[in-house]
Structure 1
């Protein structure tokens, strides 16, 4: 499934609003991961806004891809130690019962973000950036659907 212009805009808005409200009262590892998700969300929103507006800045897309990638893979896994479901977490206990799936999605996030970065670094056009961004967005969506508590 590909994200259209409306999907890109909606994804950015949902990430920004959701993360802003969720941080109230967070401490420790829960706050660390919420901060990481917020940073990811900020970069997703920035790229989504560029794609929607047509004002594509490849240098900013590259920076966003790199910043998101640093939170993927092993870095993401470190933010989810067992028994870290302290309020106001939005993490589902399914993370630990389906750890292999979660690990795959964390790795997929890193790969998708690096693909977005390399697409920008190689001078990709808007459709190429949008395709890479859509893959990244679908990875986020898959993880949130499987491992984020629906409020």
Structure 2
């Protein structure tokens, strides 16, 4: 699985003019299931992100995790993270998981975060979404398992 994690002071996702997910301090996670991914990768990714020390401690160092600060996660599916740009000018997305598998792993990932104690809001798989965020730092991290 691939994920782009952004530390945020707030983030929201809107579908058809309605806000369907919104968080304050925490992380916006754009996530993509790749061909061959299984629930184990989703669980590992959720555990890693929940413990990733990207929030400032009292000394101003990035030394606290999402769990440490009681932050939330906004999880948004984004198959375009599977983009292959190695040839031509049009990205290919054939490495992304098939839609049914991608949706199942996206939902599993979000639930894994919840099971770890992280409050989670989500986007809507396959929908045309507008994502708003205030990137804190900015801190943006790419992860792939």
Q: Same fold per TM (> 0.5)?
A: no
Greater percentage in helix: 1
Higher RCO, Cα 8 Å, sep 6+: 2
TM-score, reference length from structure 1:
0.27
